[in-house]
Amino acid sequence: MTPWYKEPWPWIVMAPPAAAVLAGIATLWIAVASADGLVADDYYKRGLAVNAVTRREQAAERRGIAAQFEREAGRLRVRLHGDAPAALLLKFVHATRAGHDLHLRLEPAGAGVYEAALPQLAAGRWRLILEDPRGEWRIVKEEL
């Protein structure tokens, strides 16, 4: 007896082109639904801000300003060499979790030493950014 079909089953023949069409539709939907846009709308201004930050770090070097960080018993002490402003601003920037960032104001404790209470920090890598209140210079240290 001769089979009633001469070709392979139709769905076997049509499966690869149909899968390609469905994959194309899915790709188009993903591309339209998740438009990336620009990383930042004001990328030019942010680039200029990076140059300003670099100038502030160079200003600290030109003025001979250096800092030593000491951490002990829930307190942070910074020994500043060079110009001594009325207070210092210190940012703890977490490497991967922006929600853990911390801003401290360090008050003078005498002879170029500034102190502040230091809360418990989350585990991980930290970047310390020390600045004067006027924003004229800054010092960046990768870890404490």
Model confidence pLDDT, tens digit, residues 7-62: 666 667 778 888 999 999 999 998 888 766 656 667 777 777 777 778 888 888 89
> Is there a domain that residue 7 lies in?
no
Q: Are 82 and 67 in contact (CB under 8 A)?
A: no
Tokens 């009325």 belong to residue: 86
> Is there a domain that residue 30 lies in?
no
- What DSSP state is assigned to residue 91? E
Domain count, the chain: 1
Four-residue CA torsion sign, 118, 74, 61, 98: negative
Whether the pTM exceeds 0.75: the reply is no
The domain that holds 132 is classified in CATH as: 2.60.40.10
Q: What is the pLDDT of residues 113-124, one digit of tens each?
A: 999 998 888 888
Domain range for 121 is 43-141
Four-residue CA torsion sign, 100, 101, 105, 110: positive
**SS3 state at 17:** helix
> Is there a domain that residue 28 lies in?
no
